[in-house]
Amino acid sequence: MQFKKINNGDADFFQKTLGINNVLLDEESKQNYSHDETEDLKFLPELILKPSSVKEISSILKYCNEKNIAVTPRAAGTGLSGGALPVFGGVILSIEKLNRIIEIDDRNHQVTVEAGVITQVLQDAVKVKGLFYPPDPASKGSCFIGGNIAENSGGPKAVKYGVVKDYVLNLEVVLPSGEIIWTGANVLKNATGYNLTQLIVGSEGTLAVVTKIVLRLLPHPQFDLLMLVPFRSAIEACEAVNKIFMEGIIPSAMEFMERDAIDFAKQFIEVKNIPIADDIKAHLLIEVDGNDLEVLYKEMEKITNVLQQFDISEILFADTADQKNELWKLRRSVAEAVKSHSVYKEEDTVVPRAELPKLLQGVKDIGKKFGFKSVCYGHAGDGNLHVNIIKGEMNNEEWNEKLPLGIREIFQLCVDLKGTISGEHGIGWVQKPYMNIAFNPVQMNLMKQIKNVFDPNGILNPGKIFD
């Protein structure tokens, strides 16, 4: 792929279109927008644009499409697959100024927002009206809903409530041609033409730039109960996950953390009052929610009965809001904690839930074969295991040579177990060499042709998903 470099004439056009303050050309800004949260990857953009309206985005895309300038759309830059990296330089199109909650339609249990609204801001705003938007990635305090749409994000509540795609009713998007369209309608059921909405969700900013989003909402559940369960065997913790579902219970969260994950997190954020005995190898963090406390206590009892079949230590029940927050803070900080501990590579494996023990065992076996350690944690109730491969004592040569081989075997195991290579982080820049494990040339060709329908000149987020 070859793109035109940005010259003074281009910069002039952008400054006239957006106002001089919304076009950043300085080195510091280029550094700031050169990375997301994916390992330590950096690519310098030539210029950063901060449009304030869909009309401005339309003008930018039309111009870049005509001039063959690469455009990398960027939400909050919290992505973990390099989707927001400007790998061909060009323009960073930041949606940070599109941050209005346009309408909370509580009569219809819907909300319409601009794509740059922070996920937690959205959640808090609808909660005031008694409504609930469940999908919240660990980065919910900083990520944008537009980025969540791009990656079809999940988060801990997905096990009961589903992922982002299950809440998106309608999208306003700008095509690379500059044309602005809505993808569907604001309805719960739709059998009118092809599902363009679902095609855009998870397309990682390669088909169109999402500008407005209509989400369905639920009544907010009134109560939740939370417990932390220590296991003496990590494999047994994974086995317990499915046993609980087999009892007909659907928890609102079912999170798995290996010993190291929780240890790193405790060092990272200084958590009090969570003692962990030396023989504990893993934890499950289990939440149930609903509108009837009695029912929730019964569910907790049923879960506890299942857990007694396994080699567990004393369960910690979070009794207060503070304790619950502490436990969730711990869980949410795991990724950053592991990251700060060593050079690492994070994989976002996903398999059918009951295959989780096989996946965990396989990851450990593959690690032994290639000489690397891993710290695993994730959304066990969905079969979604984040595998953090740790460089630790490996030298650079070993790391660079063996890591891709090890990852390839892990992903092949996922696919053999009828899973796939990303559950919620996306393919972006770093996983695309592995796409041929999940898809054959016929499938890949369909996807590439769909890309070509939306973006015939290939200017939108080039270098992502496809090798």
Say if residues 464 and 427 touch (Cβ distance below 8 Å): yes
Residue from 51, 89, 147, 154 touching a copy of itself (CB under 8 A): that is: 154
CB-nearer residue toward a copy of itself: 124 or 247: 247
Say if residues 252 and 287 touch (Cβ distance below 8 Å): yes
Residue from 39, 96, 166, 336 touching a copy of itself (CB under 8 A): that is: 166
Instruction: Name the DSSP letter for residue 153.
Output: -
158: left (phi over 0), alpha (psi -120 to 50) or beta: alpha
Residue from 98, 438, 459, 460 touching a copy of itself (CB under 8 A): that is: 438
Site stretch for a copy of itself (CB under 8 A), options 11-19, 60-68, 93-101, 178-186: 178-186
Q: Is 225 in the site for a copy of itself (CB under 8 A)?
A: no
Instruction: In whole angstroms, give the CA distance from residue 395 to residue 403.
Output: 11
CB-nearer residue toward a copy of itself: 47 or 303: 303
Q: Are strands 282-290 and 209-216 parallel, antiparallel or unpaired?
A: unpaired
Q: Restricting to residues 382-411, name those near a copy of itself by CB under 8 A.
A: 382-384
Site stretch for a copy of itself (CB under 8 A), options 70-78, 257-265, 367-375, 433-441: 433-441
Residue from 426, 458, 462, 463 touching a copy of itself (CB under 8 A): that is: 426
3-class SS at 262? Answer: helix
Q: Are strands 71-74 and 91-94 parallel, antiparallel or unpaired?
A: parallel
Residue from 25, 101, 125, 218 touching a copy of itself (CB under 8 A): that is: 218
Residue from 34, 78, 211, 242 touching a copy of itself (CB under 8 A): that is: 242
Site stretch for a copy of itself (CB under 8 A), options 18-26, 242-250, 325-333, 363-371: 242-250
Say if residues 36 and 82 touch (Cβ distance below 8 Å): yes
Residue type, position 399, single letter: W
3-class SS at 283? Answer: strand
Q: Is 301 in the site for a copy of itself (CB under 8 A)?
A: no
Tell me the number of residues near a copy of itself by CB under 8 A.
90
Q: Residue 314: is it exposed, middle or buried by C-beta count within 10 angstroms (0-12/13-18/19+)?
A: exposed
Query: What H or E segment, with its residue span, contains residue 302?
Result: helix 293-307
Q: Is 223 in the site for a copy of itself (CB under 8 A)?
A: no
Query: What H or E segment, with its residue span, contains residue 293?
Result: helix 293-307
Q: Smallest distance from the beta carbon of 292 to a copy of itself, in angstroms?
A: 5
CB-nearer residue toward a copy of itself: 49 or 417: 417
Q: Restricting to residues 260-299, name those near a copy of itself by CB under 8 A.
A: 291-292, 295, 298
Residue from 23, 201, 316, 318 touching a copy of itself (CB under 8 A): that is: 201
Q: Is 224 in the site for a copy of itself (CB under 8 A)?
A: no
Sorted by sequence, the CB contacts under 8 Å of residue 273 that are 6+ apart come out as 323, 326
How far does the chain reach from its first CA to its final CA, in angstroms? 11
Q: Restricting to residues 444-463, name those near a copy of itself by CB under 8 A.
A: 444, 446-447, 449-451, 453-454
Strands (E), 291-356: 316-318, 344-350
Residue from 49, 87, 421, 460 touching a copy of itself (CB under 8 A): that is: 421
Helix pair angle (396-416, 356-370), 10° resolution: 150
Q: Restricting to residues 103-132, name those near a copy of itself by CB under 8 A.
A: 105-110, 130
Instruction: In whole angstroms, give the CA distance from residue 63 to residue 13.
Output: 9
Instruction: In whole angstroms, give the CA distance from residue 63 to residue 94.
Output: 16
Q: Restricting to residues 243-262, name those near a copy of itself by CB under 8 A.
A: 245-246, 248-250
Q: Restricting to residues 63-102, name those near a copy of itself by CB under 8 A.
A: none
CB-nearer residue toward a copy of itself: 315 or 450: 450
In 3D space, the residue among 302, 321, 299 whose CA is nearest the CA of residue 252 turns out to be 299
Q: Restricting to residues 20-39, name those near a copy of itself by CB under 8 A.
A: none
Site stretch for a copy of itself (CB under 8 A), options 4-12, 13-21, 346-354, 360-368: 346-354
In 3D space, the residue among 301, 259, 263, 262 whose CA is nearest the CA of residue 280 turns out to be 259
What x-and-dash track marks residues 352-371 binding a copy of itself by CB under 8 A? xxxx----------------
* Angle subtended at Cα 146 by Cα 143 and Cα 150, rounded to the nearest 5 degrees: 100
Residue from 304, 420, 436, 457 touching a copy of itself (CB under 8 A): that is: 420
Q: Smallest distance from the beta carbon of 314 to a copy of itself, in angstroms?
A: 28
Strands (E), 66-167: 71-74, 91-94, 101-105, 110-114, 131-132
**Contacts by residues 120-128 (CB-CB < 8 Å, ≥ 24 positions apart):** 125/101, 126/217, 126/220, 127/220
Residue from 2, 8, 26, 189 touching a copy of itself (CB under 8 A): that is: 189
CB-nearer residue toward a copy of itself: 392 or 456: 456
Q: Smallest distance from the beta carbon of 221 to a copy of itself, in angstroms?
A: 9
Residue type, position 45, single letter: P
